[in-house]
Structure 1
Amino acid sequence: MLGRLAALDLPPWFLTAGSLFQTVWSVAAGREDLTAGIRDHDLFFFDEDTSWEAEDVVIKRCLAAVDGLGVELEPRNQARVHLWYPKEWGNEIAPYRDLADAISSFAATSCCVGLSLDSGGKLTVHCTHGFRDLFNLVLRPNPLTVAPQAVYDAKAERWMREWPQLTKLPWVEPSGRR
């Protein structure tokens, strides 16, 4: 998937979220099926053109590139999130400054990871809070999150059903990224 996406000459992008951290959890849990529990593969890209039309062009290119791989890819322009977030989640957020800012806003620290591959084969890894919580199967509220406690709790509940080895730490009100 990374190789196919790298060939597209996209705006800056990262594969992020569940497809990465849930794969790590499955390896740590000794699972044979590393895809179990993964709903989709989030592709964050950052394009200054915040029109829906521009985002839709990139989405369609990405989906065509991974066709036949048997994965559900969800490409989204992170420069547009502030435009739809209030309607979806009920509170306003400031625009993300870049991809690192967007990845850094997930509800749990172990989720704030991304991978990107350039057309020359160079892999870039972003991990906002380091790898300790991720590899130790710890769910820790992210101090930079834009998500409310209800999102953290709901996700943690689902993840802990799938990966009972996870340790959930109690919610701490985030300091906020804004």
Structure 2
Amino acid sequence: MSDLERRLADIVRADAGLMHVLTTVRALGLEDWRVFSGAVYQSVWNAVTGRPAGYGIRDYDLGYFDPDTSWDAEDVVIRRVAAAFEPPFRDMVEVRNQARVHLWFEGKFGEPYEALSGTDEALARFVAPAFGVGVRLEDDDAISVAAPFGLEDVFALIIRPNLHRPLARGWDKAVANATARWPELRVVK
């Protein structure tokens, strides 16, 4: 584990909300799961900028991978995860089967999306390297980290486009939203 991964694990452990989500989801025994996106990178931004844990976090994105790409199978997992949480977390944990993303992504975001072979593979397709970070609470209580672009950008408060994909249709909105809450961020194009 690198120094930045250890630092990220410490930040995650210090965030009671994020740990609650990780602990609850681990108990569900989902296949190939991660909590990723805003709940993770925003926790780092909060720690780096001295904001309280949980500041600005609106939801917890939970990805898992099940080769059954039917809506019915995903709906069963969505309902199961929701039943595991009390409010407000019940409404804040957003579950998506990463094996299904290619079925709806182009219709929603206007760009093609090849099928994935696992949850961690999705992180390399996020719109910014700083956003492509996921964590999981393992059975031995270790926090495993997946970050295909590394953790340098997220800890340096840098947002830059993912050069391995077209500039996202909602890029400007995502950047404006982030910089409004964390004005210390530096946007690099």
What amino acid does structure 2 have at the position aligned with 1:148? L
The count of corresponding residues between Structure 1 and Structure 2 is 168
Given that residues 130 and 153 in structure 2 are in contact (C-alpha distance below 8 angstroms), is that contact kept between their aligned partners in structure 1? Answer: yes
- Runs of 4+ in structure 1 displaced over 3 angstroms? 68-71, 147-150
How big is the shift at 1:36?
2.3
Task: Indicate the SS of the match to 1:79.
Answer: coil
Q: Using the TM superposition, name which of 97-106 and 45-54 deviates more.
A: 97-106
In structure 2, the residue matched to 1:17 is 37
* Aligned equivalent of 1:82: 102
Question: C-alpha separation between the residues in 1 aligned to 2:150 and 2:112?
Answer: 28
Which moved further from structure 2: 111-120 or 22-31? 111-120
Aligned to 2:13: none
What pairs with 1:21-100 in structure 2 (closer than 5 Å)?
Answer: 21-32=41-52, 34-68=53-87, 70=89, 72-100=92-120
- Distance in 1, Cα, partners of 2:84 & 2:60: 14
8 Å CA contact retained: 2:109, 2:169: no
- Scaled by the length of structure 2, the TM-score of the pair is 0.83
Gaps of 5+ in 2: 1-20
Structure number with the higher helix fraction is 2
The TM-score normalised by the length of structure 1 is 0.87
Q: Paired residue for 1:7, among 27, 31, 37?
A: 27
Match of 2:11 in 1: none
Partner of 2:152: 132
| Secondary structure class of the residue paired with 2:161 | coil
Of residues 91-100 and 48-57 in structure 1, the stretch that sits farther from structure 2 once superposed is 91-100
